[in-house]
Amino acid sequence: MRKILIPTDFSENSMNAIKYATELFKYGPAEIYLLHAFADAVYDAKASLADGIFEELKQQTLQKSKEAMEETRKQILGFSPNPKHKIHTISEFGLLVDSVNDWVEKENIDVVVMGTKGETADKKITFGSNTLQVIKYVKCPVLAIPAVYGDVHPKNILFPTDFLLPYKRRELKLVATVAKSFAAKINFLHVSKFSSLSLRQLDNKNFLEASFSENQVNFHQDNGKNVTKAINSFIIENPIDMLVMINTRHSYLENILYQSTIEKIGLHIDIPFLVLQNLPR
């Protein structure tokens, strides 16, 4: 049973993420948790209101959230009446990252799916602040879906790796299951000026091969030093439908998320982006 958490702000971007998730995981049983954490909205409104009506404002916002959730549930049942899926709705006064983390732990969530931007989307940036915060701090794989992305049938998945990480079976199984469902090919990309691998790297490569033994896989070597350029070039030159990367200490992705921004680093992501957190759970 796959457990999927989808934060929503009832924007078109978040609805697109919901549609993507229901289609991507349509072949197996799943519990889908729709979450609206509305503390920020209440605090924003409170700034222009008297303190005495704070609790009343919370209740009004909660009621509006529940009504919007019910309408969202009806829409989902309209475009995806899947008997294998069970939908739960959660409206709560909380901050997004805290609420997502709490529900990930409480329900042992397999993957968080969300749009790359929220209702205040800026076309100039790749990810909205909420999406970046969830990717950085939530201890669960996160699948970010671009607002305009509609093709939910991945055929080619790009998985850059330096073969230095001891991957987590549960997270790799998520990728393997998605790829197998759509007969997708997984392209592992190793960017290094050295053609040979260390014993540690060979062990991890063998582990990857074993984990994806039922999938179509290709291993590619890029002899350059610029990981960003190699990833961008591979996506441009090949029909890639999903990018998979690992966010862990001292990784290339951590450097993007914490030391700079994706815009500054130059990594152009306009396809679904699955971030594995490489954490034991």
DSSP string, 85-120: EEEEEEEESS-HHHHHHHHHHHHT-SEEEEESS-TT
Average pLDDT value over all residues in the chain: 88
pLDDT tens across 162-184, in order?
A: 999 889 999 999 999 999 999 99
What confidence score (pLDDT) does residue 125 get? 53
CATH class, range 156-268: alpha beta
pLDDT at residue 215 tops 80: yes
pLDDT score of 263: 56
Closest residue by Cα to residue 217 from 183, 256, 242: 183
Q: What confidence tier does 127 reach under pLDDT thresholds 50, 70, 90?
A: low
Q: Is 2 helix (H, G, I), strand (E, B) or coil?
A: strand
**If you ran DSSP here, which 8-state letter would residue 125 be given?**
-
- The answer, yes or no, to whether residue 158 has pLDDT greater than 90, is yes
Yes or no: say if 276 and 246 are a contact pair by the CB < 8 Å rule. Answer: yes
Q: What is the DSSP letter of 237?
A: H
Helix (H) or strand (E) holding 33: strand 30-37
In the predicted model, is pLDDT for residue 206 greater than 90?
Answer: yes
Q: What is the pLDDT of residues 220-254, one digit of tens each?
A: 999 988 898 999 999 999 999 999 999 876 677 77
- Its pTM stands at 0.90
Among the ranges 4-18, 39-53, 128-142, 240-254, which has the highest mean pLDDT value?
4-18
What pLDDT digit, counting tens, does each position of 258-269 carry?
A: 655 555 556 778
Instruction: Supply the pLDDT for residue 46.
Output: 61
Give the burial class of 182: count Cβ atoms within 10 A of its Cβ; 0-12 exposed, 13-18 middle, 19 or more buried. Answer: middle
Give the Cα separation of 149 and 194 in Å (integer).
36
Calculate mean pLDDT across residues 187-208.
94
pLDDT at 126: 56
Strand-pairing partners, residue 243, are: 158, 273
Q: If you average pLDDT over residues 252-281, what whole number do you get?
A: 74
CB 20 within 8 A of CB 46: no
- CATH, domain 2-145, list 3.40.50.620, 3.90.180.10, 3.40.50.720, 3.40.640.10: 3.40.50.620
Cα distance between residue 218 and residue 120, in whole Å: 39
Cα–Cα distance measured from residue 118 to residue 14, given in angstroms and rounded to the nearest whole number: 7
Condensed to tens digits (0 to 9), the pLDDT of residues 12-24 reads: 999 999 999 999 9
Instruction: For residues 107-133, give the mean pLDDT.
Output: 76
pLDDT band at residue 25 using 50, 70 and 90 as cut-offs: very high
Write down the pLDDT at residue 136.
Answer: 86
Which residue shows structure tokens 């790297």? 201
Q: Delimit the CATH 3.40.50.620 region(s) of the chain.
A: 2-145, 156-268
